[in-house]
A and B are shown apart, each in its own frame.
Chain A
Amino acid sequence: MSRPFDLKDKFYENRLFLNRIVASVLFILVATAGLVIRLIYLQVMGHEHYTTLSRDNQVKISPLAPSRGLIFDRNGEVLADNTVTYSLEVIPEQVPDLNTTLAELKDLLNLSDDDISRFKTQKSQRKSFESVPLRLQLTEEEVARFAVKMPYFPGVEIRTRFMRSYPYGHLTSHVVGYVARINEAELRSLDPAQYRGTYHIGKSGIEKAYESVLHGKTGYEEYETNVQGRAIQVLNTIDPVAGADLYLSLDIRLQKTAFDALGEFNGSVAAIDPSTGKVLVLVSKPGFDPNPFIHGIRKQDYDILQNSPDRPLYDRTLRGVYPPGSTVKPFMGLAGLKILNLSPGRRVLCPGYYRLPNADHKYRDWRKQGHGSVDLKSAITQSCDVFFYDLAHHIGIDDLHDFMQIFGFGEKTGIDLAGEKSGLFPSREWKRKKRKQVWYPGETVIAGIGQGYVQVTPIQLARATAILAARGRNVEPRVVDTIKASYEIQPPYPKSGEEFVADLKPEFWRTVIDAMVDVVHSQRGTAKAIAPGLAYSVAGKTGTAQVFTVRQDQEYKKLKISKSLRDHAWFIAFAPAEAPRIAITVLAENGGHGGSVAAPIARAIMDQYLLENP
């Protein structure tokens, strides 16, 4: 190669090389710009987003469940307690050989296959360093048996947990209610922040109605975690606040008296202090043992309760609707006095039946031979049906409906418990709307003695009785008397009002209440059987609620119909009649006659309450 050519070649090559270097530098600068843009995107634009993610990453919050408030009766007896239970718990990652350990524990503590499979399910849902319960509620003996062998079981430990218990079981099953595991639907409606770490929730009774107060405030432990979620360091602890303790106005001894006095009968007893609305007794019999529900009752046990003909799970006091029968008569009397301006001396002849003008149908009196000539007082005392047939007919169903509403017929009482039913006192409009039918005069007639469409719940009738005893002052029944909390609390049910709902002349009240006193204290009274030995005066009224309608041409033959079709026996009363301190309603299902079955139950309660609290 000649020298000039070589030089030219060299020059070309150098230029090309420099071009390539420039291209490389450009490539590097463009690529670096790409990195820079991406970094700006992440660190400036995305900063807030990633900061949030970063904080979520490192700080975990673990809830500290509060201890549930206790429930006491008016004398400080514990009705719902928190008791320590021992549970056997396993931290899987600390157990060298899980299967062997499980097999050994199974022998040692008689674990069931259910226990093992439940454990395995729960274990699969948790991290390996979290404690998983293997067996809840160890007995003292089991605790002792395990404690001896504990060193041979690394990663297995006994933990104490607080569990609800109901020492009075059946006695308080409906009113206090019970707690049980939170289910999916409840979880959705609850404040998740407050219920993290809480496994149980009130399902019925006080436990449900006062859930927000009993639960307390969940505390938190904030801790830093690493990627496995394992706690490294606790950053901050907010202690939980225990739930409020509830003191009921209920007297558990009275409750037991009422429960026992019902004897063989199913039924309901509700007693209210008419001056305050405080509920003294709230019994629905039969009850059930709420304790197994806390851990989850076994299916077969639940089926037994569910399928029992006595329906122990059914709260008769709040949810049972029955015709009130003759117990409405004092209220009907007040309606007559008010609406018709009825003279107390006005008399009606009771021939044993009542017939509407221009009609053939006979409305029978419970006393076949009739009561003869009766005025309002004697009609109440002797429970004459014909008098009230006539009265109702003259008042008319609409006025009657409006008046009875004052005493809460057809409406919920607003008691501080969940699941109350409203009962029914019919009206023309109700029938048109709900039944799409016109109202017949005969239906007014039978409403006059608390039959036909009229339906009440025992608590409703107890409230009406209490309003009557308080001579028209409103009574809102309340089971919870005081709430004791370590922090400010808004009671879910405010104290009841003091206003008058029935503004009636004093002589109207006197007339009706005198008649009710005669029900117990006079020779013709339907509840005279409880009078002997009474240390105070009682105003009462018996009632019989028909379960089954006797056809026009048939007679009610008590012995021929089965017990389940027998009439329900009612008794309403308050005492002392002149200054009532207790108003009471007793329902004995299929008890037959109120005077002989329901009244003595009421007396037992009144005796105990009034004589022990003079």
Chain B
Amino acid sequence: MNIDPVLAQLRIMPPQRASLLQKFHIDLPLMAGLGGLCTLAFIILYSSGGQDVNVLLRQAARLALAMVIMIAIAQVHPRRLKYYSPALYLLGVLLLTAVLIAGKISMGAQRWLDLGIIRFQPSELTKLSTPMMIAWFLSASTPPLRLKQLALAGVLMLIPTALIAKQPDLGTAVLVASGGSAVVFLAGIPWRYILVLAVLGGSLLPVGWHFMHGYQRDRVLTFLNPEADPLGRGYHIIQSKIAIGSGGIYGKGWLHGTQAHLEFLPERSTDFIFAVFAEEFGLVGCMSLLGLYLFVLGRCFYIVVQAQDKYSRLLAGALTVTFFVYVFVNVGMVIGILPVVGVPLPLISYGGTSMVTLLTGFGMLMSVQTHRKLLPNG
């Protein structure tokens, strides 16, 4: 048989490193973007954590674990992911139910399941398993989607969302719902249905208000007018705005953010870490950080577009959109354009749970990308 000279050349000189990356199913541009974000995270964390090296070490350990998990997931073929989707989804829902019955009460909300060695948050699992399940379900469909399919996808999404909202954990519920919705959107829900849902959702807002917890209502009201309660619930937002605003264009410089260091800013290493960053690095820093996020998102979309089977691209697309929702909800809340819900800044906020989930998601994206050529046509 004839060998294409170009292909022959390629076969002769595959770079050693590229082959290593290929062997471990690692996507280099995505990895580079994630590495950049994690590096930034350590820089900010050193400042927000009061220059405590132990804080960095703990975070580094978590990052290492999450990276191992990510790379492990990247080895798993999308076919297997699809295969295990219904089981994982079922497991997630069962665990959520268990949490509601027997969960540890922490910070006034039931989120944790104490497994002895580790405390496990089942809602993190559903952040991944819900879009997986819906992608599994809708990958068999052909557009345009029929109402029955949509209704079923809606139910699949609403079950974990409602269970999480009941805990109550509004932030995670939003993320799970947007993951599921993204799948439905990408799978081709007709625009007219989107319109109907939007109108329906708008008219159901008062009903939703009725079902909200008192503190959730307070959060919304506080968001609408933070100055009304400057020492109470509005305090976070006001202090956060002061930190960001006083940063200006170039920022106060690394380790010079007075707002954060003098303990004015609450949760400054977790949910409000963006305010610390904005204070110390200013608008220039914020633009760079957002740019880095957009780079990661861009690479993810590239993977999504290149994905070769329907399940892969629905899942990859949903994970990408969810990643952005993470960023948007956190930054939006910190800069005071969204209500305060507990969503960390992806890959930057201190803490391990969300990082493991996120990197698992990226592991899936890498898997989609690196297993592509091995897929059979069609």
Contact = CB atoms under 8 A, between A and B. Distances in A.
A75 interface: no
Interface string A13-42: 100111011011100100110111011101
Contacts of A12: 143
A28 B301 CA distance: 11
Interface string B247-283: 1110000000011001110000000000000100011
A9 B378 CA distance: 13
Given A32-B290, A39-B335, A46 B245 contact: yes
A490 interface: no
Contacts of B313: 17
Contacts of A38: 332, 335-337
Nearest to B141: A13
Given A44-B249, A44-B283, A224-B262, A20 B244 contact: no
Instruction: Summarize A's interface: helix, strand, loop or mixed.
Output: helix
Contact of A227 (B185, B245, B264, B332): B264
Interface residues of B, number: 44
A257 interface: no
B375 interface: no
Given A24-B317, A226-B264, A31 B324 contact: yes
Nearest to B313: A17
Interface string B130-156: 000000000000110000000000000
Contact of A18 (B185, B287, B305): B305
A484 interface: no
Interface stretch (A48-56, A97-105, A561-569): A48-56
Interface in B147-202: 182, 185-186, 188
A39 B243 CA distance: 12
B294 interface: yes
Contact of B242 (A25, A50, A232): A50
B304 interface: yes
Given A51-B246, A58-B259, A224-B262, A43 B324 contact: no
B365 interface: no
B306 to A, nearest CB: 11
B143 A43 contact: no
A57 interface: yes
Given A31-B324, A31-B328, A16 B245 contact: no
B343 interface: no
A598 B178 CA distance: 101
B182 to A, nearest CB: 8
Contacts of B186: 17, 20-21, 24
A42 B263 contact: no
Given A31-B324, A36-B287, A226-B262, A42 B143 contact: no
A13 B313 CA distance: 12
B128 interface: no
Interface string B299-321: 00100110000100100010011
Nearest to B335: A38
B43 to A, nearest CB: 19
B291 to A, nearest CB: 10
B331 interface: yes
Given A28-B297, A43-B283, A57-B264, A21 B305 contact: yes
Contacts of A24: 182, 185-186, 301, 317, 320-321
Contact of A42 (B244, B287, B294): B244
B286 interface: yes
A2 to B, nearest CB: 15
A28 B324 contact: yes
B244 A51 contact: no
B372 interface: no
B241 interface: yes
A50 B185 CA distance: 40
* Chain A interface size, under 10 / 10 to 19 / 20 to 34 / 35 or more: 35 or more
B242 A57 contact: yes
A50 B262 contact: no
B324 A42 contact: no
A53 B317 contact: no
A47 interface: yes
Interface in A467-499: none
A57 B294 contact: no
A53 B335 CA distance: 16
B310 to A, nearest CB: 8
Nearest to A45: B245
Nearest to B247: A43
Interface string A569-610: 000000000000000000000000000000000000000000
A537 interface: no
A225 interface: yes
A225 B324 contact: no
A23 B320 CA distance: 13
B245 A42 contact: yes
A19 to B, nearest CB: 9
Contact of A20 (B188, B239, B297): B188
B305 A35 contact: no
A42 B335 contact: yes
B264 A58 contact: yes
A106 B246 CA distance: 50
Contacts of A20: 185-186, 188, 317
B245 A35 contact: no
A226 B266 CA distance: 11
A13 B187 CA distance: 9
Contacts of B305: 18, 21
B262 A43 contact: no
A35 B246 contact: no
B324 A232 contact: no
Nearest to A43: B283
B262 A227 contact: yes
Nearest to B294: A32
B283 A226 contact: no
Contacts of B244: 39, 42-43, 50
Given A16-B188, A24-B186, A49 B287 contact: no
Given A38-B336, A54-B243, A224-B258, 9 more contacts: A17-B186, A20-B317, A28-B294, A31-B328, A39-B283, A42-B245, A43-B286, A51-B246, A57-B258
Interface of B: 142-143, 182, 185-186, 188, 239, 241-249, 258-259, 262-264, 278, 282-283, 286-287, 290, 294, 297, 301, 304-305, 310, 313, 317, 320-321, 324, 328, 331-332, 335-337
Interface of A: 9, 12-13, 16-18, 20-21, 23-25, 28, 31-32, 34-36, 38-40, 42-44, 46-47, 49-51, 53-54, 57-58, 224-228, 232
5 closest A-B pairs by CB: A50-B245, A54-B246, A226-B263, A43-B283, A47-B248
10 contacts: A20-B186, A20-B188, A21-B186, A34-B332, A38-B332, A39-B278, A47-B247, A54-B259, A224-B258, A227-B264
